Amino acid sequence: MIRWSYAINQFKPQFDDFARRRQHQRALRVVSVSGFDAVELCAGTGRWEPLGNPDHVLVVRPAPSGAHGPLDDQAIVRLAHAWTEVANAIAEDGVRLALHVDFLSALRLDDGIERLLAATGPEVGLALDTAEFAIAGIDPVAFLRRHPDRVTHVHLKNATVRDELDEFTQPAAEYTVLRAGGSRVVPRWFLELGEPGLVDSSAFVAALAETGYAGWVVVESDFTPHPATSVMLNGWEVQRVLRPLVDPAG
C-alpha cells in the first residue's frame, strides 16, 4: 500500500521563520485540505524549530559532498560497514534504514551509489528522491526498476535542470549551487509535480505500483517562494492524477 505525505520543510526556509503556533496551524491546514493526512518532519527541535529545521538536523548524509572527490574502494567499504551497523541497530525497534542521496553527494562520482548498494545487503535501504536523482542525471524510473527491493522510502518532487556542469564538486556547493543557483544562477532547482520539468511523476508512480512498492511517498516543494500554493498545486496533482494510478477506486 502506498501512503501519501507532505514534507514540512518548505514552510521553514530560514532560522527565524515559522516559529509561531498560528503559522504551524496554517501550514498543517494547507497540507490537510490539499489531501494529505500526514507530514514528514525534519529532525532537530527547540524553541525556534518545534517542527524541525532543515538547516539544523540530526540526520547525516550517507556520504560526503562531491567537493571531497570520488570515494575509493576502502571508503565504500567503511560506509557499507557503518550503515549496515546502523540498519541492524534500528531494526530492533522496527525501523528500516533509508539513505537519502542528494545531487550534491560524492556518491555521484565513479558510480558510487551502485557500488555502495553492491557492498551492502537489503537491510540498507534507499530514500529515492526523484528530483535529486534527475538533477544528478539519474533516471529515477530506471533506477527504481533496477533496485525495487532497495527503495524503502520516496521523496517525490519535480526538477528544472540537470547539474550538467558538475558544480556539485565545488566547495560549499550547498550554498553556491543549491541555494545561489551556481554559475547559471538557477532560480529554482525544484518545481511542482504538474509543471514541465525533468521528472515524469506519472511514470514514476506507475513504476512504484508495478514494482510492488509499499510505503510512504513524501511530496516535497523545497525552496518554493510560495509554500502554500505549491502544496495545493501538488495536492491537486496527487489527488487527480497520481493517486488513481495506484488506487483506481480512490
- All residue ranges of the chain with pLDDT < 70 are 12-19, 43-56, 58-60, 249-250
Which strand ranges, in their side-by-side order, compose the sheet holding 124-129? 39-40, 2-7, 215-219, 151-156, 124-129, 97-100
* pLDDT for position 55: 46
* pLDDT for position 56: 43
* pLDDT for position 19: 60
CA distance 63 to 25: 35
CA distance 131 to 157: 5
| Domains of the chain, each with CATH number or no CATH | 2-246 (3.20.20.150)
Q: Are 13 and 217 in contact (CB under 8 A)?
A: no
State pLDDT tens for residues 162-194.
Answer: 999 999 999 999 999 999 999 999 999 999 999
Q: 158: closest CA among 126, 215, 198, 125?
A: 198
Long-range contact list for 79-83, CB < 8 A, 24+ apart? Answer: 79/116, 79/119, 80/116, 80/119, 80/120, 80/124, 83/120, 83/124
Map grid coordinates 556547493 to a residue: 173
Rounded to 10 deg, the angle between the 227-237 and 21-33 helix axes is 20
Q: Compute φ and ψ for 113, nearest 5 degrees.
A: -65, -50
